[in-house]
Structure 1
Amino acid sequence: MLSFDFGGKNSCDDFEILIARRPDLPSPKRRVNTINIPGRDSNLRFDEKTYEDITLTVECSVKDTQNLADKIDEIKSWLFTAGESDLIFSFQPDKKYIAQVVNAIDFKQVYKYFSEFPVIFNCRPFKYAVENDLMNIISSGTVIINPGTVESEPVMNIYGSGDIVLKVNDEQISFKDVTEKIIVNSAIQDCYDDAGNNLNGKMTGEFPKLKPGENIMEWSGDVVKAELLPNLRWL
């Protein structure tokens, strides 16, 4: 039986919602701008290398022989108060969307104890790994495998002191006057410490990304170890 987890609850187990069919899973639209230049064949293209959000529609139905109106109230409360949450479908339990319900849900009563309704989720462009496990890296030159289909934006904890140079593939990042630990968060493009203090002034270079396949992580300087949260992504 098809179901989905959202906002920490399961559609079937918690609300006895039935899903009519597996929802369509569209790919995100890539942002490519075109400029028409008079006297020139074709268009000039500018690829932003970013993607639009996607929309998923799930056709649902619910039955309640006791009090259907109360159950509908519970479902609406669950879907709307969850805000932006993880969305996991039973047919792909190892991957998740980051989604939010965006439609005014129209419950259509088709029988006395039976209602049908669509749920429309606005999702960030990618699917993410449900298990986002922290990797411990104890030596420079470690190979990191990204099994995803697009670049991931990891979070790295660098433990060390003084001036440090970190290299991920061909991208080099330099840090000045590190004290014990520095956190490099590529997802939010920020560098800070455990207390949340901004350390962007100590960093030079682009925030690292992990390409699909093999990635080599190297460093120089007084580094004890590194920890990496990969944030794997799929189209």
Structure 2
Amino acid sequence: MFMDADTPNFIFKGINAVMDMDCIIETELPEISPNKRYEEITVLGRSGSLHETFDDYEPYNLEVESITVPYDRLREVKQWLRGRGQLITHNDYNTYRDVICMMDSPTEFENEWGYFYTFDLTFRCQPFKRKVNEQSLSFATSLVFHDPGDETAKPYLELKPTGGNVKLTINSTALTITNSSTEVIKVDCEHGKIIQGSKTLFSKGEWPLVRPGENKLITTGVSSGTILRRSVYL
């Protein structure tokens, strides 16, 4: 993956717009932060209003304007720029966004090199960015670790249990997994799933979260494990 920080460019679904598709992007790509979602509450007999939030964020559109592509690459580009995938932009190439691509109708124009097409793109983005190629952290039964993100993250863990009940605690939030064997347990806090082999395991407690800054992980009933923080950025 190569991108010049000074040249407008993006990578979508692992394909580099400039290097792989011969695109020329004439305008700078914007840097956008998501808005926190608030509900406005009006109380009869009280001036003004109240605002309530559950600390969740709204999706947003990222516009890429004035993209030029050679005539003979248009069909290939149209097939590429569709659907859902990961987006990396030149001005923040260490993180990616989960997006859906919406391609506007191309318009033909002629210049001194021959025939080209120009078009605009809209990427519908999920609120958070994630680190490209984030590495898992290994631990025995406990771990103190730092999360570099901007907001609370929902981690993914793989645990090697000793059999029976497993207790997983991150900071003050604990989750107990019941009736495990000695096969690896996969704990996906983002999607609320605990898998061991082909079985779904039962649990009680709350899904652990990783907060920006220092975190402490403690386990019982486990001989070793790994955690993918899934750090999130605004």
Q: Same fold (TM over 0.5)?
A: yes
Q: Counterpart in 2 of 1:158?
A: 159
Of 185, 189, 205, the residue aligned with 2:188 is 185
State the distance in 1 between where 2:63 and 2:110 align.
20
1:176 and 2:182 aligned: no
Deviations 1:176-221 (A, max 9, x none): 22212322211112222232x222xx2111111110010000123x
Show the 5 A alignment for 1:154-233. 154-160=155-161, 161-180=163-182, 181-195=184-198, 197-199=199-201, 202-220=202-220, 222-233=221-232
Unaligned 5+ runs, structure 1: none
What is the CA–CA distance in structure 1 between the aligned matches of 2:125 and 2:69, rounded to whole Å?
27
Distance in structure 2 (CA, Å) of the matches to 1:51 and 1:115: 36
What is the correspondence of 1:1-235 to structure 2 with a 5 Å cutoff? 1-64=7-70, 68=71, 70-80=72-82, 83-109=83-109, 111=111, 112-140=114-142, 142-160=143-161, 161-180=163-182, 181-195=184-198, 197-199=199-201, 202-220=202-220, 222-235=221-234
Q: Confirm or deny: 8 A CA contact 2:174 2:207 kept in the other structure.
A: no
Report the TM-score when normalising by structure 2.
0.88
The TM-score normalised by the length of structure 1 is 0.88
Paired residues, number: 224
Moved more, 110-119 or 184-193: 110-119
Task: Name whichever of 38-47 and 108-117 sits farther off.
Answer: 108-117
Report the 3-state secondary structure (helix = DSSP H, G, I; strand = E; otherwise coil) of the residue aligned with 1:50: coil
CA deviations over 1:59-96 (Å, ceiling 9, x no partner): 233253xxx1x32222111102xx21111112322111
Letter in 1 for 2:228: L
Q: Secondary structure at the match of 1:14?
A: helix
8 Å contact kept, 2:160–2:225: yes
Deviation of the 1:150 alpha carbon: 0.8
Percentage of pairs with the same residue: 25
Equivalent residues of 1:61, 1:114 under 8 A apart: no
**AA matched with 1:97:** R
Deviation, structure 1 residue 110: 5.3
Provide the rounded CA distance (Å) in 2 between the counterparts of 1:208 and 1:159: 18
Give the letter aligned to residue 52 of structure 2: F
Could you tell me how far apart the structure 2 residues matched to 1:209 and 1:159 are? 20
Please give the secondary structure, in 1, of the residue aligned with 2:56.
strand
On the 8 A contact 1:110/1:116 being kept in 2, the answer is: no
Distance 1:110 1:49 in 2: 49
Deviation at 1:49, TM superposition (A): 1.6
